[in-house]
Structure 1
Amino acid sequence: MQSARLKYIFDPLCGWCYASAPALHTLAETYPDALELMPSGLFSDTGARAMTPAWAHHAWSNDRRIEAMTGQPFSAAYQRNILQSPGMHFDSGVMNRALTAIRALDPHLEPRILRRLQSARYVDGLDTSNAAVVAGECARQVAGLDAVEFAERLGHDSGLARQTALRIGATQDLMRRAGVNGVPVLLLQSGEGEYVVNGAALYGDGAALLAEIARLSAALPPVPAR
């Protein structure tokens, strides 16, 4: 891909982003230095909500479609502890801040942490809107990270909150510029242009996504020499 960049736009609480996790894993393994994760803020701040019965029903309907289509599992523990738990908060803000902090440590860790947090929610049935839960899962993945201190940062570090907000703002600017809505979206950035990678490839195996990136890359005009 030469100097091209891959921009993966997502929200940690998006079920369809979880559906694309296997393909994203392949992407991170194949293009670790070209890949950039970009949180959209879809389910944080004004997008956050309470887990009402109506929203739980909507989520579970999508989840069953995702599982049938991709094989990504949604466990009974997730249904019981998350969807059927009164007062549960549906808010990706803590995870967005955690991913931003992890990226500052090592960008290569961020896709792995995202995948772990998705699995913690949909398979283990853990509340990933909770700072202590998210911090504990991150600490198990990152050597030297103290879960208690990290949870405090996720809840009260104004600098981290500001950095995360700036990151989400940059993602939303990119989405407007590229004319895309919803998540997940994968953009191939080459020269001054952004090109949408066929979204269906995100829900197949990693090989299908790599083939689609190669096809799109070959069709792009060459980047002028500087």
Structure 2
Amino acid sequence: MMKSLLAIFLAAILTENYILNKFLGICPFLGVSKKLDTATGMSIAVTVVMVISTAATWPIYTYVLVPLNLAYLQTIVFILIIAALVQFIETVLKKYIPALYNALGIYLPLITTNCAVLGVTMLVIEKGQADPSFGFIQSLVNAFGSGIGFLVAMVLFAGVRERIENNDVPKCLQGLPITLVAASLTAVSFLGFQGIVDKMLG
């Protein structure tokens, strides 16, 4: 059981990374990763939303929507739950950590429509449908691992972008082009972990 949960956790961070593997959440990945502190703050907020959203949406889908044959409302219901959670976190940050609230700016309310957050809540449902042993605990572990994977990707890329700014970049690659090149190389580097996770799952 523990080995299985560890494999789910590591896979969510490394080989099923929502940014670098599934390419979800690219907007904050490119927009907030210029500075390490804002990247870390954004990632922690996203991780909290991912875990709490999964904890709320999984039972609602399983015990409310499915029994009432309302599964087709999944996307709308999940977005409403995520929006409420983001509003709560935004209020907390504004009151207790105003510096981080101001630094995140427009990207904080954008967590509501962050496809990585919505993707986590929806994909754990799909995994549960494909594998009956993938239940509530596994979904929470997957959501937490996905949040940590989001954090790892953001922090790594923030470091890469800081290094880029301190180096001479050809004029034709300055700005968005070199950012996308660096993002693709960061994504490719995570492919090396596939064998490790496959061995654990095996």
Higher helix share: 2
Please indicate, yes or no, whether the TM-score normalized by the shorter chain is above 0.5. no
Higher relative contact order (CA 8 A, sep 6+): 2
> TM-score if structure 1 supplies the norm length?
0.26
> TM-score if structure 2 supplies the norm length?
0.29
